[in-house]
Chain A
């Protein structure tokens, strides 16, 4: 399972695209209204080109380390 973070484009509202996103088979995990970022999960591999609502799409990283 892949976890993604999508930054919404200006003028795109989460409430209006939520259903469309779900219909594509992704599972929405969280929406951060302050940042206009959608966090979702899917079995599929996506790039930002697969969506016309996101400015950027990044996969969850698990390699943040304490820097000492």
Chain B
């Protein structure tokens, strides 16, 4: 349609009246009786051609001379008695839709204005004033304000060097389950390293941050001897102690290898289940028996129990660690639940043999496990109403898959802070 279309009402349809219309408006009028499937009105009507609808007594044409139409209506000699421009009609709900869209646009304008005001006036973000270890950045520690304040994390390991400057002045509770060895000494170093990742803060030399839940309450259970070896008894006794003490998180960077298709221990399954019922989350290392790219070894005990969270290790390139075990025995349980940084991890270390360095870089699923324990403490501070099982679910649900890595190797993915 070129422009406006006009509906013109005639007082009669005599041949002379039609001719008058044709003459007055310089159009050729076709009767609607001539219309057919091949000759439709919309193909005919334009500024030079009109259609007369016989049953209605109206003529329809495009771009008619409106001034002439007004004169014709006033002229009683003219067959034209009324005219109007064609109108657009919408169903009632379409009109409503348009009205809603108009309202929506107004609301959107208001929201855009609100956002603009917020952006212009927002406070300076709390960027970390210290550098932090790659593992902390990888789990989003630079974007959280939580510190695990008040949450009890129990590290079951080789003990803790309580003379380390980073632990001085802290109230640390502990117990040894290894005969003749104290919990507050760590001849091995492994326990001091793991404790630092979960509950440490910043290095006293460079100021770089290496620990996650800096304001959590550190609890130590010595279940591994100074040579780094432990028994079922020491571990069960320590878990029993930790549950009695109502510690919220137990971190176990220890493992006993299992064979292909070996079912998980019902003993540890029972212990893990009871811990969850008592609102205690047990997190354990998946084990370091693999030598990739060869087929990885299955998740070790006790992490292979479904009631104990199994942690795999990745490196800073987001590759699975060469040594990290995998969910090979999936049919009987023994899946990986999540992964965490576990290669080239810096943390506290006892001063030994005259070496004055108080920090050391270590690798293992042992180092990945306290990352999860520390983050669990942050979640517990952030969501104080959630129980241990719900924190487990949250850890899994907020973990991010890593491109090209399999569920078998990293479970739900790399753990992340929530902000």
Contact = CB atoms under 8 A, between A and B. Distances in A.
Contact of B232 (A34, A55, A61): A61
B416 interface: no
B78 interface: no
A28 B240 CA distance: 17
Per DSSP, are chain B's interface residues mostly helix, strand or loop, or mixed? mixed
A58 B229 CA distance: 19
B233 A67 contact: no
Contact of A65 (B191, B256, B271): B256
Contacts of A67: 253-255, 285, 287-288, 300, 364-366, 369
A64 B256 contact: yes
B270 A62 contact: no
A63 B253 contact: no
B243 A62 contact: no
Contact of A64 (B188, B231, B270, B274): B231
A5 B158 contact: no
A34 B231 contact: no
B243 A58 contact: no
B240 A3 contact: no
A66 B266 contact: no
B267 A63 contact: no
B367 interface: yes
Nearest to B190: A66
B270 A68 contact: no
Contacts of A55: 266
B363 A68 contact: yes
Nearest to B234: A64
Interface string B353-364: 000000000111
Contacts of B237: 30
A58 B232 contact: yes
Contact of B236 (A37, A56, A65): A37
Contacts of B340: none
Nearest to A62: B231
A34 B274 contact: yes
A66 B236 contact: no
Interface in A24-52: 30, 32, 34-37, 39
Contact of A66 (B188, B270, B301): B188
Nearest to B284: A67
B256 A63 contact: yes
Contacts of B193: 68
Interface string B242-266: 0110000000011111000000011
A64 B224 contact: yes
A21 interface: no
A65 B266 contact: no
A66 B235 CA distance: 12
B412 to A, nearest CB: 21
Which of the listed residues A36, A56, A68 has the most CB atoms from chain B within 10 Å of its own CB? A68
A7 interface: yes
A58 B240 CA distance: 18
Nearest to B243: A34
B256 A61 contact: yes
Contacts of A7: 266-267, 270
Given A60-B231, A66-B366, 11 more contacts: A32-B236, A32-B240, A35-B271, A37-B236, A63-B229, A64-B229, A64-B256, A65-B256, A67-B366, A67-B369, A68-B366
Interface of A: 3, 5, 7, 30, 32, 34-37, 39, 55-56, 58, 60-68
